[in-house]
Amino acid sequence: MTADDGGVVTNDEDVTLATDTQTRATTAPRVVPVRFDSPALRLVSLAIWGGMMLGIGHLPTAAWLIGWVAFFGWASLLGRLAKRIKKRELVATADTIRVGKTVVPKKQIQTATPMRDGGGHYVRLVRSLGRRIDIMVSSEKEAADVLHQLGLDAESSACSFPVHPAKSSKRLLALLPFGVAAFFWMGGSTMVGSSYFPLGAFLLAIAFAARQRAMRISLVVGTDGVQATSLMKSAFYKHSAISRVEAFGAEVSIHLRGGEVLGYKVTQQKKPKADDIELARRIWERIMAARHAAESATTDLASTTSLGRGGRSPREWLEFLRRVGDGAEASFRKASVSRDALLRTLENPAARSLDRLTAMVSLAKNLGTEEAVRVRVAIDACAEKKLATRLRVALEDPSADALEHALLEAEADAERETAPALTKSAL
């Protein structure tokens, strides 16, 4: 393994799991051996494969066959190395997770879910480019404890799963690049000459990557709902709009109250593997846990209705919200909106996005230590991309222009959400 995979712990304790005292309470140290793949080894494997594809038309047949045998031998060795379990120090802070010497920002972790295979239970953390870190545990309960301590459980963080549509009419269109690449690779090399062969191989690789990307959907599960994002569009569904969720085999079905069914599958293979079926079950569990967290959240939403724009200009609205957070606004005192009520509104996934944003703007100027922890957890648990982005702007960008823009966008979205309901009730 490479040096960035972390340093070996020299004491008798395998791994110490610690958390920042400002993030959440630290429990007793526990043993959590880890295994993770090496990006360096994966790059070497990709380089070998790329060299084989680009030189396929210029190498003798014997050399070509020997090269492919070497490539598959390297792939087998890479698979064995990825299964090795090593002892690493695991430390979680408010924004990062450190595994040995490797520091991983939490915002780079796309998926965090407990898994189970023939080797036992583990918590899988997936970063960008599919890089994995597996934290070995002894049971489902210990896996849940690890996720909670890392701040990556359903109540504290949104989780993204790469899935594919269960049914799609665009599959034939997605296969079109394969036909173009095949023409250059096979027909082009025959009609024009072998110089087109590497070009055809390169186009085939690009076509395969484009097809995989076009068919992939990012399914983000948070306490506020589920966001499905593909290459062409993005849609968000609140938990209140979902009637039930089912998992069968490697597929997950989300039934909306309007009768529509959203079908997703973990793999495009006709015969899914055991890992694919396990992942589909974990997606179902994550959605159900997020729905439970949303249902258990309570707050007095009526107490924050006075935070609306109310005919003010954007700048006057922003200044009013800041005064509310400082406790210097008369209407704020009359409405009896405390900072704790603002925090509860921000944390409530069932509240309107506009109400959560106005509460965030009111709180952002003078956040205490405990308030900052609650605010960050509330933001990280959001699946709705627009809302999470606006909340981070309110937290991190004090400029008036950015805040006014976020508030006006949220107000416009709130008006669009209520317009269909008014039209339907009128009919």
Count up the domains in the chain and report the number.
1
SS3 98: strand
Q: Is residue 312 part of a domain?
A: yes
Residue 86 lies in a domain: no
Output the six-digit token pair for 332. 């704020």
123 within domain boundaries: no
418 domain residue, yes or no: yes
Q: The pTM is what?
A: 0.74
Three-class SS state of 238: strand
Task: State the average pLDDT over residues 46-66.
Answer: 58
- Residue 29 within a domain: no
Q: Which of these ranges, 102-111, 191-200, 317-326, 345-354, has the smallest mean pLDDT?
A: 191-200
Q: Which range, 42-51, 335-344, 350-359, is most confident? A: 350-359
Model pLDDT for residues 97-150, shown as the tens digit of each residue: 888 787 888 888 888 889 887 778 888 888 877 778 888 888 888 888 888 888
Which single residue is written with the structure tokens 């031998």? 73
For the stretch 257-285, pLDDT in tens is 988 999 999 988 888 888 899 999 999 99
Mean per-residue pLDDT over the chain, rounded: 75
**pLDDT given at position 379:** 92
Q: Buried b / exposed e across 187-212, counting CB within 10 Å, b at 16+?
A: ebbeeeeeebbbbbbbbbeebeebbe
Residue 287 lies in a domain: no
Confidence of residue 382 (pLDDT cuts 50, 70, 90): very high
Q: Are 92 and 374 in contact (CB under 8 A)?
A: no
**Is 420 part of any domain?**
yes
Is residue 344 included in any domain, yes or no? yes
313: containing domain: 301-426
Euclidean distance between CA atoms 216 and 375, whole angstroms: 31
Q: What is the pLDDT of residues 199-248, one digit of tens each?
A: 555 666 666 666 666 678 899 999 999 999 987 788 999 998 999 999 99
